[in-house]
Amino acid sequence: MGNNRKRKNKDKLLQEFGNLKNDSFNFDLIERYFRKKDHSGTLQILADKTCNDLDFKELFMFADRTNSRIGQLYLYNKLRTIPPDSAKTEEKEKLIEGFISDADLRVNIQNQLVKLNEVEAFYITSLFQEEQVNPPKWFFIVRLLSFTSLLSLMLLFYNPVLFFVLLSVFIVNIGIHYWNKRNVSQYLGSIPQLLRLNQVAQELFKMDCFKFLNPNLQESIHVLNKIRNRMMFFKLEAKLQGDMEAVFWGILELFKILFLAEPLLLFAVLKQLNTKRKEIEDVFEFVGQVDSLISIASLRNGLTTHCIPKISSEQKRIVASEIYHPLIVDCVSNSIEVDQKSILLTGSNMSGKTSFIRTIGINMITGLTLNTCFASHFTMPRMAVFSAIRISDDLMNDKSYYFEEVLTIKEMITQSENGKPNLFLLDEIFKGTNTVERISAGKAVLSYLNRADNLVFVSTHDIELADLLNQEYELYHFSEKVDHQTVDFDYKLKDGRLKNRNAIRILQINDYPETIIDEAIELSKVLDGNSEKKVSNATDHIFSPRH
């Protein structure tokens, strides 16, 4: 029976490796560790705004192949935290390769990790990231009542009158016992899971291949083992509340009330755990790292095309071959080489501009955090990532679309002066205002953001903007083919600015009245002529010797 269960479990783990996780995602819990972790020393913490722009939650659900809640918490933090260097990358890559090639090794480790897949495991982080419940000032009374109960019980046979003392104390103890139940309930999930976490860490640390992750981990495991016996009470309490063995539970409750065992044990354990925060976090991060590395192995195993990025010291240079967006089914891949100039994309709606910008941002993030890119080759510098893609009116705060955009881009301008290399991703800059001011302000801002070691990927419908920036930005475009009654997008990146405009043609194939089409064509010719003159004059002004 046991062998059949093991075989089925192994087959299940083998089948799931490389596939998407069939699980629900509670991001309120998944983000717990990230939200409260000290991130000092990192290159960047991805802002909520950037995460929203790049569909980060969907990216995480795609990348997450962890086996435990510990690994899930750790992986989420890892994916949102760009490190300052590539510490221990070679050793971690050897582990990932081993997980892919050695199924037995991987399954043995996964069997340990799945022990920590209960929802309660999310709350382990509260033991080292949050303030613990403190005993009340009158807690000395608890000790006094417990001692009185013990002494009365011991002397009861010599003096039966003490029964009334014992009964009186018992009645008082009932109130204190059930007052403390709320405190105990806060830890019925986390402390039993901590016991299990420490046990899993101990088993994994026996394997030499993991020791480089934290050579001193055994000390932390040993420290937690010292208070293991006291913590076992919470494991028993959680089991009884789950199974409700009535008789045993009733006897135990009477014992706990009589001697106030729960509050005494609870605050004794919390006092010790409060001094062991570093050790708990060490054990947590060790198991989280192991699980996240298996998750990366599973992610790569399920991809048709991926690569390990080359992190270059050469700034303002990106080389991407066959790069694609991992969340777009059958995504068309593209290649691009960025060398000292930023990138400006033109093209119509739905042609692929914004998706390509997101593709670059996502690959930059996964390359720097998971050492994995969705491309056949990707060379990049280590950069922080900022975006202004998905902006909307903030009606609750009475902010217009344009004002929201102004604030977002102002933050980019501030970050561009931080002395670090930055990647700025923008979609249709200043589209919340009129054409003349949009082009003027857009040109000035994009020139400013492109300074120093910063790179910008920006899309625009304004051909004039492309002309004004052609000395600072490489121009690319996406285009569509308009046939008799169809519009076909190939989603392929092409050199240069967009030359063909098909907006009016699309109106025509959708049976707009001929008078509208004719007037639109005539007006577009006039406006194009005026626009070319204005851009020529503006360019002469900007690049004249006086400027």
CATH number of the domain bearing residue 368: 3.40.50.300
pLDDT of residue 202: 96
Domains identified in the chain, total number: 1
Q: Which of 450 and 465 is assigned the larger pLDDT? A: 450
Measure the CA–CA gap between 373 and 62, rounded to whole angstroms. Answer: 13
Pick from 448, 442, 404, 399: nearest CA to 422: 448
Q: State the average pLDDT over residues 116-142.
A: 91
**Residue 200 located in a structural domain:** no
Sequence-distant (≥ 6) Cβ neighbours of residue 467 within 8 angstroms: 497, 535, 539
H or E segment to which residue 97 belongs: helix 89-101
pLDDT confidence tier of residue 100, bands split at 50, 70 and 90: very high
**Residue 184 located in a structural domain:** no
pLDDT confidence tier of residue 9, bands split at 50, 70 and 90: confident
pLDDT of residue 512: 80
**Residue 328 located in a structural domain:** yes
CA 129 to chain CA centroid, Å, is 18
**Residue 282 located in a structural domain:** no
**Residue 207 located in a structural domain:** no
pLDDT of residue 546: 47
Strands (E), 283-394: 310-311, 317-323, 334-339, 342-346, 377-380, 384-388
**Domain around 356:** 310-496
The two beta strands, 377-380 and 310-311, are parallel
Tell the residue number behind the tokens 């409060």, with chain if given. Answer: 274
**Residue 91 located in a structural domain:** no
Measure the CA–CA gap between 166 and 145, rounded to whole angstroms. Answer: 10
Of the listed ranges 48-62, 152-166, 373-387, the one predicted with least confidence: 152-166
How does pLDDT run across 268-280, given as a tens digit for each residue?
888 988 999 999 9
**Residue 72 located in a structural domain:** no
Residue type, 27: F
The tokens describing 277, both together, are 């925060």
How does pLDDT run across 481-492, given as a tens digit for each residue?
766 666 778 899
Tell the residue number behind the tokens 């955009």, with chain if given. Answer: 405
Q: Find the length of the chain.
A: 547
**Residue 267 located in a structural domain:** no
pLDDT confidence tier of residue 18, bands split at 50, 70 and 90: very high
pTM for this prediction: 0.88
